[in-house]
Homo-oligomer: A and B are copies of this chain.
Amino acid sequence: MKDFTIGNEDRAKVLIQALPYIQKFMGKTIVVKYGGNAMINEELKSAVIQDVVLMACVGIRTVLVHGGGPEIEFMLRKIGKESRFVKGLRYTDEETMEIVQMVLAGKVNKDIVSLIQQAGGQALGLCGLDGGLLQARKLRTDGEDLGLVGEIIAVRTAVLEDVLNRGYIPVVSTVAQGTEDAVGQALNINADTAAAQIAAALGAEKLILMTDVRGILKDVNDPESLLQEIRRGELDGLIKEGIVSKGMIPKVDCCRLALDAGVRKAHIIDGRIPHGLLLELFTDEGIGTQVISDANKG
């Protein structure tokens, strides 16, 4: 019904308005961290898949890095696993890590691959173990041992380049190969951080973090107070002023990490908006908050 209201003239107009953006991003690499509601809600999920397939279609080298917290929770509950905490932080023991790997690399990852294939795209599901993609050591925290939680010490981009060059969309689970103090063990990596480090290592054009908020709000209670663009240099001030909320700080850190490694722009977008990726990439206004490097001119 509603479709009827979009006449052919308007359809053409929309396509043509997307043209300069398509030209702009053709051949560029964009790393998307996929997570939150957009991964749970079936309609949103389907929209993300379509967006990613379209991006690949118009020549954008798209890397999809995903999380999977809720599905891991669900499985841990199913096997009756009780979480163990160390000074308030969850400890990842071997049994938990096994579930994490199974759920992320076996279930969430391959389900996304399957959806992309069904939507006519070409996808290949990787985790950090494939081709040695993510090399990590145990996360260094202040004296606490969190078990098999890791931090990336090297991204071996060769496998991503190979996969992208052959025309596939790499879908990446953030399970890493342990080294140093964890040789031979798989380690769990925070997906936002992994996405940022992959974007950095690839010299990506953009890092896009899908979240469950509008972006960075000047007034956290006023969704209309969205900050559409922030320079990297302004981040510290915004954090100090409390404008960047506590929960948002890790996301902002990921943006900073990517920008400092040469990524041109980092975006925090609202995954609850259907086709948010397309809107961000192919319209003038975009959505969410973009953080640009201080030298950035456009």
Contact = CB atoms under 8 A, between A and B. Distances in A.
A222 interface: no
Contact of A14 (B11, B78, B113, B123): B11
A76 to B, nearest CB: 11
A110 B127 contact: yes
Interface residues of A, number: 73
B283 A8 contact: yes
Q: Majority SS of interface residues in chain A?
A: helix
A50 B274 contact: no
A9 B14 CA distance: 11
A278 interface: yes
Interface stretch (A98-106, A145-153, A250-258, A261-269): A98-106
A251 to B, nearest CB: 23
Copies in the complex: 6
A1 interface: no
Nearest to A175: B110
Contacts of A117: 129, 131-132, 177
B120 A129 contact: no
Contacts of A122: 131-132
Given A10-B14, A58-B58, A101-B107, 16 more contacts: A5-B10, A9-B274, A14-B15, A15-B15, A16-B50, A16-B54, A19-B50, A19-B120, A57-B58, A57-B59, A58-B59, A101-B110, A105-B109, A106-B110, A124-B126, A125-B127
A295 to B, nearest CB: 23
A250 B105 CA distance: 30
Contact of A283 (B11, B47, B51, B186): B11
Interface in A4-44: 5-6, 8-20, 22-23, 26
A57 B102 contact: no
A127 B110 CA distance: 8
Interface in A166-200: 166, 168, 175, 177, 183-184, 186
Contacts of A123: 130-131
